[in-house]
Amino acid sequence: MSPLEIFSVIISVIGVALTIKRSMWCWLFNFLAFILYAYLFYEYKLYGETILQFLFIMVNFYGFYQWLKGKQQDHEIRIEPIAIKLVVGQMILAAVGGFVFGWSLHHFTDAALPWLDSQLAAFSLLATYWTSRKHIATWVLWVFVDIIYVGMFIHKDLFLTAGLYAAFVAMAAFGWWQWTQVKQKQQLKLST
């Protein structure tokens, strides 16, 4: 447990908490967390996670822009629906992308867990994209992805980060509940 890991955990928790609250500040804290974790994961030869952090940075800018220009209701970010067909298609695309990425890591690097790392990276990227689009489905996906991350980080002796991802499971479940409540309120206001 290094000071870098401790600081990364703190910044990450703040970023996710602000995302649940639909605060624009979430994008700044998440950006800092991505930079910190890119360095930490590189040290632990989790190259898929390292590359993912850089992809997160790009999606972070996209998300900030989407939320900034997005539809608001009562000065809050309005949650947007997503079609089941789109969910399924994007999940298949993430799985295929994760496989290709895993194959590359397996054959061209000394990655510690190339197949698992790559699939988690692909689905994390999809969940982050869904967050930028303000879809409640993001929280459902995060619950499942974060549960698997906990095991991977325990396996790599990143116990504090495993604890962080266990907290992320609870935070994602809460985010799911919170956004569902907000969505219902927003729908009621639109129908009146």
Q: Are strands 76-77 and 72-73 parallel, antiparallel or unpaired?
A: antiparallel
pLDDT in tens, 164-188: 999 999 999 999 999 898 888 888 8
pLDDT in tens, 2-37: 899 999 999 999 999 998 888 989 999 999 999 999
The single-letter DSSP state of residue 81 is -
Cα–Cα distance between 88 and 161 in angstroms, integer? 30
Look at the chain and report how many structural domains it folds into: 1
Phi, psi dihedrals of residue 45, rounded to the nearest 5°: 60, 35
Q: Whole domain around residue 157: which residue ranges? A: 3-191
pLDDT in tens, 47-62: 878 888 998 899 899 8
**Predicted local confidence at residue 71, as pLDDT:** 59
Cα–Cα distance between 176 and 148 in angstroms, integer? 18
